[in-house]
Structure 1
Amino acid sequence: MAIQQAQLIRGKRDVQMFPRGTVELPKPSGMGRYENSRGVFHFRPEAIHVGKIDALSGEGRENLFLNLGSIDKHEVARRVLAGESLLCVTEYTPDGIEVRSAAGTETTVDEQREYFERTKEPGNTIVVGGMPEVIGARLAESNHGTA
C-alpha cells in the first residue's frame, strides 16, 4: 500500500483504493477522499472527479482508475463460469513486494500482461500465475458480502 501511495503522491496513479476491511493509510496532503460500500479512495482531485470514482466503483469497474487495465472482474467471472481458468497478473518490486494484481483468464492475461508491462515501475517484474494471497482473501470476503 505504501508503494501505491508513493505513486499517488508522485502523480503515477490517480486513485488508491483501500478495500473494505483493509487498513487505510493517512490521506496525503492535497488529495481527496471518498468512501462508499466498497472501500475508501484517496485521489488526485485535479486528475479525476469524485463522481467518476463513484460511478465506476458502483459498477465494480475500479480497474479503470486503479491502473489494472480494461478487463473488469465481471468479465473475468463470466469467463471463469464459462470454463476458463482463473489466473492473475501481478507486478512485484525487485524485493518481491506486490504492487498491484488483477484477476484474468487464459484468454485475457496476454492483454493484461501487456498493459502491466507498459505501466510498471522501472525495475519491477510482471508475473502471470496463481492468485496472490491478498486477492484470494478479498474474493473470499466478497463472496460473504463484506467487500
Structure 2
Amino acid sequence: MRWPIVAESFGPHLCNTDVFSPKPSQSAEDQPYTRWQDLRKRVIEHNVRVVAKYYTRIQMGRLTQLLDLTEEETEKYISQLVTSKTIYAKIDRPARLVNFAKPRDADDVLNEWSSDMKSLLGLLERIDHLITKEEMMARILPPREKAKAR
C-alpha cells in the first residue's frame, strides 16, 4: 500500500468525516489531524515490515522509492521499528544499504551445512546403488536379449 495512493483513493472520503483531517487546525486538541498522521504512520510501518520480509538487503534509494519518503524519514521509521523490536535491520550509511537479515550463529550455519552434506551423501549413495543394480542387470541378460534392448 503506497501512502500517496491510499491518501488519494481514500483520503477525500475519510476527510469528509469528523474522524480525519489532512490539515492541522487551530484548536489545542487536534484529534482529526493526529489520527490522519497516525494512519499515515501505520501505513508506512506496514510497508517497512513487508519490505523487511521480502528483502534481506536493499539500497536506501530503492527503499525510499518504495516507501515514497525522503531518506531521513525512511531512516526515522526504520529506527523506530528496530527500537520497538518489530523488525531487525542494520543501516550502513556510507554504502547506503539497509540489511534486514539477522546474523546467524556459527553453530547454526555449521549444523545446516552438516545436514546438507548428509543429505547429499545419502543421494550419492542411492545413485551409486542404482547404477550398480543397472550394471548387474545388464550382465545377467543373455546376449540375444541385449541385442533386442539396443
- Structure holding more helix per residue: 2
TM-score by length of 2: 0.25
TM-score by length of 1: 0.26
Which fold has the larger relative contact order, with Cα–Cα distance below 8 Å and residues 6 or more apart in sequence?
1
When Rg is computed on C-alpha atoms for both structures, the one with the higher figure is 2
- Structure holding more strand per residue: 1
